[in-house]
Structure 1
Amino acid sequence: MNIGIIGTGNMGRILAEAFIDSGAIKAESLMVTNRTIAKALELKKVYPGIQVAEKAEEVARYSDMVFICVKPLEIHALLGTINSFLKKEKCLISITSPISTGQIETLVNCSVIRAIPSITNRALAGACLLTYGEKCNPEWKNRAYDFLAKISSPIEIEQELVRVSSDIVSCGPAFFSFLLQAFIEAAVKKTGIDKERATKMASAMIVGMGELLSQGHYTLPTLQEKVCVKGGITGEGIKVLEKGLGDLFYDLLDATHTKFEEDLKKAREQYSTN
């Protein structure tokens, strides 16, 4: 199966690297392109076997499964240039949340899937959110699921859960990285521990915590219970968190959902003309 990636920015490159490193495909079966072609050529320096195309049309013509990894409002125009190469037997996969499979299906005749990845997929871990188009061939549903399972744990979601699911899966690593860095900075300022060692400790802690959950030793609640001994030091810290957390995550979700609604409105304006 030939795979194409249009857009080798952060997430497009992560997918290319994960697909090859996982063994899901051979480098020779991957064709990529990018508006700034130098980014695609940088990827080829690491994986010499991949093919770099100058135009998106070449990728669409070559590929059985085409991943679109461009900004949401760029997709409409892009589909106009590659539509004639997206034959019915092919599959188009968009990785952006504001554009629905239904909107894309108004412009193309091939199978359509939305797959929202996570940066954790670079480590061949974490989730990938799937929404299938109404006209998607059942065979492509299975093939895409199995393919993405090589780099992630695919989870099918409904349209109404796209934003909150993306907040958890796709945005979550950035949110919790921010919180962990704030924890480290406080430790450095408060105690004098050097930042390098504090960062090493915190990184090892978060990786170890992930392994505990992944291997099924604990759930999030039981993990907290095991560490938080009654009357102990951890319990005092939990009290501070309970008091200080307030509506932080409610406010966070309000902010992401407000921005999402703005993006949805702009997208509807583009696709309403079709």
Structure 2
Amino acid sequence: MKFGFIGTGSMGSNLVQAFVQSYAMQPDHIIVSNRTRDKAERLALDCPGIHVADHNLETARKADCIFLCVKPGDFRHVLDEIQDVVRPDQYVISITSPVMIRDLEEHLEGKIAKVIPSICHAALSGNSLLIPGTRFSDEDTQWLYQLFSCISEPLYIDEAHTRAASDLASCGPAFLANILEQWTRAAVKVTGLPEETAVSLVEQMVIGTGKLLSENGFTLQSLQDRVAVPGGITREGLHLLNDAFTPCFTRLFQLTHMKFSEDLHKVQQSFQRAEKKL
């Protein structure tokens, strides 16, 4: 099977490299194209054997499975480029959350699915969020699950939950890294702990915590209960964090959903403008 990737930005490149690293795809079975050719060529240097197409049309024609890894604002243009060459037997997988499956199925002949990936796939970890379209058979859905099992723990979700699930699985690593960075800075500022020591302590703590959750049977709640004895320092800290983070995370979901709604509206407008021109 030939795999085509239209868009080799951060997430598109991350997907290609993860699939190659996991041996789920052979480089000489991958075709890539990008608005800025230099980015595609850099990816080909990292994964020797990848073919860099001259344009998106070439990628769509030659691939059996097309990954659309483009920003919401560029999506309409890409669809206009490839819609005449996409075949009913091709898989078309979008990783752009505010582009709805119903719109893709209206404009493309292929078997459509939406998959929200994560930077964690670079470590062959994390969840990939799978949303098969109406043209996916049970066999197609199983194939999609097996493909992403090579680089992640796939999870089927309802398209209506795309934003919330993406906040946790896809945006989550950046949010968590930011919280840990602020925690580290506070330790340095308040206590005078050397920065390199604080960073090392936090990094190793995160690695260990991940192993406790994934390998030692702990849950988020049982881990807190195990560490925080009644009346102890950890319990006092948890009281503070509950008071501080509850409104913060509520606001975070409100903010991301607001941005998602704006992006969704812009994408819908781009489809409507294109239809008026026809």
- Normalised by the size of structure 2, how large is the TM-score? 0.95
Q: Secondary structure of the residue that 1:247 maps to in structure 2?
A: helix
For 1:105-116, what aligned pairs fall within 5 Å after superposition? 105-116=105-116
Q: Secondary structure of the residue that 2:66 maps to in structure 1?
A: strand
Q: Which residue identity is paired with 1:208? A: G
For 1:175-254, what aligned pairs fall within 5 Å after superposition? 175-254=175-254
Question: Within the alignment, does 1:92 sit opposite 2:92 as a pair?
Answer: yes
Distance in 2 separating the partners of 1:166 and 1:246: 19
Q: Runs of 5+ in structure 1 lacking a partner?
A: none
Distance in 1 separating the partners of 2:243 and 2:254: 21
Which residue does the alignment assign to 1:10?
10
- Check 1:137–1:219 CA distance in 2 against 1; reply closer, same or farther (3 A cut): same
- 1:143-164 per-residue CA deviation (whole Å, 9 max, x = no partner) reads 1111011001111111211111
Distance in 2 separating the partners of 1:165 and 1:140: 23
Q: Runs of 5+ in structure 2 lacking a partner?
A: none
Distance in 2 separating the partners of 1:44 and 1:264: 32
Aligned residues of 1:33 and 1:56 also touching (Cα < 8 A): yes
Alignment root-mean-square deviation, CA? 1.3
Q: Secondary structure of the residue that 1:251 maps to in structure 2?
A: helix
Distance in 2 separating the partners of 1:230 and 1:145: 44
- 1:174-210 per-residue CA deviation (whole Å, 9 max, x = no partner) reads 1111100000000111111221221121111111111
Q: Secondary structure of the residue that 1:229 maps to in structure 2?
A: coil
Which residue does the alignment assign to 1:162?
162
Q: Which residue identity is paired with 1:220? A: L
- 1:18-42 per-residue CA deviation (whole Å, 9 max, x = no partner) reads 0000110111111111111111111
For 1:43-82, what aligned pairs fall within 5 Å after superposition? 43-82=43-82
Distance in 2 separating the partners of 1:40 and 1:167: 28
Q: Which residue identity is paired with 2:7? A: G
- Equivalent pairs counted in the alignment come to 274
Q: CA deviation at 1:243?
A: 2.9
Same amino acid, percent of matched pairs: 39
Distance in 1 separating the partners of 2:127 and 2:183: 26
- Normalised by the size of structure 1, how large is the TM-score? 0.96
Distance in 1 separating the partners of 2:245 and 2:61: 51
Deviates more, 1:126-135 or 1:111-120: 126-135
- 1:83-122 per-residue CA deviation (whole Å, 9 max, x = no partner) reads 2221111100000110111110110111000000011111
Which residue does the alignment assign to 1:125?
125
Distance in 2 separating the partners of 1:161 and 1:35: 30
Which residue does the alignment assign to 1:103?
103
Question: Within the alignment, does 1:264 sit opposite 2:269 as a pair?
Answer: no
Distance in 1 separating the partners of 2:174 and 2:151: 19
